[in-house]
Copies of this chain bind each other. A is one copy, B any other.
Amino acid sequence: MTEMFQRVDGRAFDEMRPVRITRGFTSNPAGSVLVEFGQTRVMCTATVEEGVPRFKKDSGEGWLTAEYAMLPSATHERMPRESMKGKVKGRTHEISRLVGRSLRAAVDLTQLGENTIQLDCDVLQADGGTRTASITGAYVALADAIAVLKERGVVPGEPLLAPVAAVSAGIVDGHVCLDLPYVEDSRAEVDLNVVMQEGGNFVEIQGTGEHGLFGRDELAAMLDVAEKGCAELIAAQKAALGL
């Protein structure tokens, strides 16, 4: 890595974009958060519904599920609205499932009672990293929703576990970079999304080499910067929650 390589926005290779987490962004859901990673802005909400899906009936446990979507005008080129096409894209399904799996690591379903938490991550503005911003913001919305449940006295125990956050890393022109904006992401050789829990363990990692392969060394280098990023995000989550 030579000194000549410059990131688009002048950041250091292992530097996050400015992160902002705004609680109480809207008032109807139990938890509502606007999360911003630079120009990427996602509205993350957590709604509580009594009861659980059929496969959890009479288990005494709760459930958590998530839906991710892009507003049609979030991207540079407007994208057709999925509801009007009558079809949800594979990418949307894939990210919704990732968000759900990741946040289920942040909640003890046995302590939730037979309640369902529905997370919605709606991207208002997209500039790379929408899935990682979604996971990071959703944790804060989840924490607020669980606080509401506890206040109402409907959850027996303490369902909220340690914070979960996510960040992307990648290899751009041969350089490992943290938190890729769209212009870097679209030409990255390798793209890695990392979901971590406070304490330094992984909830999920997904590394893809669309325009190149990667070896164990490069994986290690990307994990290094991702760990740094997740630690900073978890600090931001805790600050937002006043912890």
Does A49 sit within 8 A of B, measured CB to CB?
A: yes
Q: Cα distance A213–B122 when bound, in Å? A: 27
Whether A125 sits at the interface, judged by CB under 8 Å, is yes
Chain A contact residues, majority secondary structure: mixed
Q: Mark A209-235, 1 if CB is under 8 A from B, else 0.
A: 110011110010001000000000000
Residue pair A223, B213 in contact (C-beta under 8 Å): no
Is A73's CB under 8 angstroms from B29's CB? Answer: yes
Binding stretch for chain B, among A3-11, A96-104, A149-157, A173-181: A96-104
The answer to whether A207 and B204 have CB atoms under 8 Å apart is yes
Number of interface residues of A (CB under 8 A): 63
Q: A208-B204, A213-B202 are in contact. Are A81 and B67 (CB under 8 A)?
A: yes
Q: Does A78 contact B (CB under 8 A)?
A: yes
Chain A 166-204 interface mask (CB, 8 Å, partner B; 1/0): 000000000000000000000000000000010111111
Contact A97 B90 (CB under 8 A): yes
A52 on interface, CB distance cutoff 8 Å: no
Binds B, one of A15-23, A38-46, A56-64, A128-136: A38-46
Cβ contacts A78-89/B at 8 Å (1 or 0 each) = 100111101111
* Min CB–CB distance A164 → chain B (angstroms): 10
* A72–B120 touching, CB < 8 Å: yes
- Which residue, of A71, A210, A214, A219, has the highest number of chain B Cβ atoms within 10 A? A71
Smallest Cβ-Cβ distance to A122: which chain B residue: B71
Smallest CB gap from A29: residue in B: B73
Selected from B49, B67, B204, the residue in CB contact (under 8 A) with A84 is: B67
Question: Is A93 located at the chain interface by the 8 A CB criterion?
Answer: yes
Cβ-defined contact, A201 with B223, below 8 A: no
- Give the distance in Å from the alpha carbon of A216 to the alpha carbon of B202 in the complex: 8
Listed from nearest, the 8 A-B pairs whose CB atoms lie closest are A90-B93, A201-B213, A82-B83, A45-B73, A83-B83, A47-B78, A26-B125, A29-B73
